Structure 1
Amino acid sequence: MKKIVLTGAAGKLGGFLRKSLSGMADTLVSTDLADDVGTLFSGETYVKADLADLGEMNKLLQDADMVVHFGAIGDEAPFDDILSSNIVGAYNIWEAAYRNKVRRVVYASSIHAVGMYPKTEFIGTDVPHRPDTFYGLSKCFAEDLGRLYWEKRGVESVCMRILSCNPGVTNARAVGSWLSYEDLAHLVERAIDTPVTGFTVVYGVSDNDRAPVDNTLANYLGYRPRDNGEAFAKKVFAADPPMDPQNPSDMCQGGPFAVVPLGESGVAMMKLKE
């Protein structure tokens, strides 16, 4: 490809993806609200831009083949903040993609779009939305937006419902929900290089023995994760108290996001490894 655009390049996951994406196109244009993202990779340029500004997104996506959209507030927050960054920002990406004839949007969706489902249901990619927060609701909106722009305007989308993406497993929930950084990079590569995707939903999860989601309907992407959260299970289960089957934080796909008050941080309730 000639040009890929990456939003959210200053974030944890977007920043990790810059290296691999720079090798998949002649030019990688990384963007975020930060002043810079440090040393650039070969073929990479950086443009400071605001997702909430359609004009800036339209200019950014000129001559792009694909856009990898990781830019957004990555936590529960007051609705007005979510509206500007995650909802209006998503509309601006898909609309700019359509105007510039960009073939595909590869989108960082989230398990929080279906976060109120019990983990015991082993849900597929075709279940109705059940968001756990305003943040999860914004992911539902963007997924539906992606389907709309595919069915009405021919813009392909791959919506990756990321579960728990961290360097390792630090809590009992993540033994099943973990997505390693290496598997994330593989998933994004398959979302980009699969010849035809139409509108696709796929769960971003590693090959965990206890994964609570089913990617069968997205097998055609060729996503074959290699890492397994079970390697951390013995240590994590010994350190964490037993999970409570009456507590939605333990029983629901969204973890702490299932119980956090609307508008308040869910990440603050999680044990994460930086």
Structure 2
Amino acid sequence: MKKLVLTGAAGRLGSYLRGPLAQLCEEFVSSDLAESVPDLAPNETYVRADITDLDAMVALLEGADMVVHFGAVGDEAPMEVLWGPNFYGAYTVWEAAARNKLRRVVYASSIHAVGMHRKTDFIGIDAPHKPDTFYGLAKCFAEDLASLYWDKRGLEAVCMRILSCAQVSNSRAVGSWLSYDDLVHLVERAISTPITGFSIVYGVSNNDRAPVDNAKAQHLGYRPKDNAEQFAEAIYAQDGPLDPHDPANTHHGGPFAAVELGNSGVAHLNLNAEDTAKG
């Protein structure tokens, strides 16, 4: 690949992806609102840009083959906070990609697009949207935008519904964990698969208790290797009995399914310092 662009490069997940993605292309451009990012790869250029600025996105994606779009507010917040980066920012990326005739957008969607489904339903990639928050609603919007741009403009998209990409620190994560190695593998498959059209895939590791079904995403060749079962005994002992009537325990969105609209869901995830240090 000649040129690959990553938005959200200064965020927690973007920071993990920069090195591996730089190895997949001749020219790698990372972008975010931060003034800079550390440890640039030899073929990496950092561009400070606002995803709510369409002209800036058009310039950023000029000459690119694909864009990996991770730029957004990464938590539930009031609609006024999310509207620009999470809703309109998705439009600017897709519109800029279409204007520059990119082949594909690889998008960091989320389980929160379907977070109000119950975990016992074992949903597939064709489950109807059922967002748990404004944050999840933004993911629904972007997935539908991706479908629209594929149907109307032939712009491919892979929407990765990430579950819990952080260390296993709570009972929910025993099923929902996506390891950082499996995240890299997932994004690489989303980029390297020859034909994707409009595709959805769940970002989850090979957990014994994974609550979602990727059977209809087999064409991407995503085969995760890590399994959170190794943490199950200690985590369940730590958390003790769970309330079977609490939406945080029974729904795919976890705490996001239980919080009031506009209130942080991440604050209830019991993340450790490693998973909160990078934004």
Pair in the same fold by TM > 0.5: yes
Distance in 2 of aligned mates of 1:126 and 1:137: 17
CA apart distance, 1:38: 1.1
Partners in 1 of 2:7 and 2:241 — Cα distance? 39
- TM-score w.r.t. the length of structure 1 is 0.99
Match of 1:204 in 2: 203
CA RMSD of aligned residues (A): 0.5
What residue ranges of structure 1 are gaps of 5+ in the alignment?
none
Could you tell me which residue of structure 1 aligns to residue 134 of structure 2? 134
For 2:11 and 2:256, locate their aligned partners in 1 and report how far apart those are by CA, in whole Å: 20
Letter of the structure 2 residue corresponding to residue 197 of structure 1 = T
| 1:134-153 aligned within 5 A | 134-153=134-153
Q: Distance in 1 between matches of 2:30 and 2:95?
A: 19
Whole-Å Cα distance in 1 between the matches of residues 39 and 185 of structure 2?
23
1:214-236, Cα deviation, whole Å (9 max, x unpaired): 00000010000000010100110
Q: How many residues align?
A: 273
- Equivalent in the alignment of 1:178: 177
Q: 1:136, 1:46 → 2: CA distance?
A: 29
* Whole-angstrom CA distance in 1 between matches of 2:94 and 2:241: 43
- How far does residue 242 in structure 1 lie from its aligned partner after superposition? 1.3
Q: Tell me the alpha carbon deviations over residues 12-47 of structure 1, each in whole angstroms, 9 at most, x when there is no partner.
A: 000100000000000110000000011201200000
- How does 1:175-254 map onto structure 2 within 5 Å? 175-254=174-253
SS at match of 1:179: coil
Runs of 4+ in 1 over 6 A off after TM superposition: none
Number of the residue aligned with 1:107? 107
Amino acid at match of 2:130: R
1:45 aligns with 2:45: yes
What residue is the counterpart of 1:121 in the other structure?
A: 121
Identify the residue that residue 3 of structure 1 maps to in structure 2.
3
- SS of the residue corresponding to residue 212 of structure 2 reads coil
In terms of mean alpha carbon deviation, does 90-99 or 35-44 score higher? 35-44
- Report the CA distance between 1:81 and its aligned residue: 1.2
Question: 2: CA distance between counterparts of 1:238 and 1:263?
Answer: 32
The DSSP-based 3-state class of the residue aligned with 1:4 is: strand
1:241 is displaced (CA, Å) by: 2.1
The whole-number CA distance in structure 1 between the counterparts of 2:36 and 2:230 is 36
CA drift of 1:259 comes to 1.0
TM-score (normalised: structure 2): 0.97
Q: Distance in 2 between matches of 1:205 and 1:66?
A: 23
SS at match of 1:29: strand
Alpha-carbon distance between aligned partners in 1 of 2:92 and 2:8, rounded to the nearest angstrom: 14
